Structure 1
């Protein structure tokens, strides 16, 4: 599949917000539109990346997890440590599967990653059966050992009509006992703000975006699971330094956490 640079993509917009170089005029224009509506969008993009690194470090160090499925990893940025390096610093035997269907993300990953400890799967992030099958055949998914499934600020690209809640629950049901779900999602308690941001970004990305959701909608992804490392909430506060203070009453935030699969 070729790269359409005339239309913004979610991965390239995030790359722009994070100060990366792998974006085009359409992505930058979409990113500026988002910043006009929500000036703290760059901060949320950084919070998302930092949360993922903390979660991976915690799971590899404290919970002994050696295999990770990263759904929608996005594009690299200069000052960001990829999660396979975070995981392998904690455990030299850690392996990471990166799953994405954005052609630029896939091309970058395949060109830059160490294939002995990472696998790139070109797939819809919710095609769980195919992802697990390919990962298992490549020796990157052992059904006898816990695995961490990561969905870090990616499910806003999946519309309600596709029932992302059931798709995530289906994946959770397939994973070994003692596995973990790491998930965060853009949320707002203001329905008008949710609709405004979602509408603008759907237009800019040709419906690649779906929607900002409420906290209750995000909590549904964790149904039946036990939060670990801290309660579900603003992920800026999850397992973070105690001197980091909450931001009063923000208009939107990255909401989620880490939960253990019984």
Structure 2
């Protein structure tokens, strides 16, 4: 099985600091994972006091990832994925979903958490026909991702690629230039590529989300929810596919859609013309 692993940003820590919460480990805790520590659980539980259904919402966001990858692979014909903000490996990772439909699908994973780096081998347990790699990098420096040799060694940048930004852009304030970061990524992929975004929002309960923001910031984690219009603006340079930017549980559901307000995320997919 061909694979590769690269740490593209020397400044990123490779030692796991269990004394401070990390967003990937908080998310892992909500999903029922075991790769989390007291600081992560404390923040996750604090947020759950403001949003009791947060675990259900996290699972709904994860379920969307599977539906999006299935759509892109089976209907849009995409066989290459750049999954940024990968998170700790769990069931239904991007390469697992894609390679069930197309064993030759290729995936590059990117994350800044050293615990994800430690689990990179699990992320690269690919089908023999496919290929996966892991880049230890931070999206705040998209150039580090784009310069990494693992990117070009795994993906053919002349062919369409799906850029997966699932539950990551909330860690960027407006002054971090999220639009510019996304534009940098889109600039290097050809026409016919796709952009996938989910984003937490205060549109459904402004007061509760404000308390979540305060809890995250107190723990040293930037958390910036965005409105539907603000989330739609992140798709600049793409044509948003049906059904548009919608509540995450209503984006092409497998069965009857749940209550649209049961998970406070906007979700959408855009195609680069």
Normalised by the size of structure 1, how large is the TM-score? 0.91
Contact 2:123 2:132 in 1 (8 A): no
In the alignment, structure 1 residue 68 sits paired with structure 2 residue 107: no
Which of the residues 106, 122, 130 maps onto 2:144?
130
CA displacement 1:166-225 (0-9 Å, x = unmatched): 211221122100000000010112544433211111112x2x333222222211101242
1:239 to 234, 252, 255: 252
| Cα shift at 1:229 | 4.3
1:184 pairs, out of 193, 198, 222, with 198
Contact map agreement 1:99 1:120 (CA 8 A) in 2: yes
Q: Structure 1 stretches of 5 or more lacking a match?
A: none
1:199 paired to 2:222: no
| Alpha-carbon contact 1:20-1:76 (below 8 Å) kept | no
Q: How does 1:91-110 map to 2 (within 5 A)?
A: 91-110=102-121
TM-score, normalisation: structure 2:
0.87
The one of 230, 236, 243 equivalent to 1:223 is: 236
Q: Cα offset for 1:244?
A: 1.9
The answer to whether residue 17 in structure 2 is matched with residue 4 in structure 1 is: yes
Distance 1:169 1:28 in 2: 34
Instruction: Report the CA distance between 1:62 and its aligned residue.
Output: 1.0
Q: Which structure 2 residue ranges, 5 or more long, are not aligned?
A: 1-12
Q: Which residue of 2 aligns with 1:163?
A: 177
User: Displacement, 1:61?
Assistant: 1.1
Shift of 1:76: 2.2
The answer for the alignment partner of 1:119 in structure 2 is 133
The 2-side partners of 1:30 and 1:159 are apart by 20
CA RMSD of superposed structures (Å):
1.9
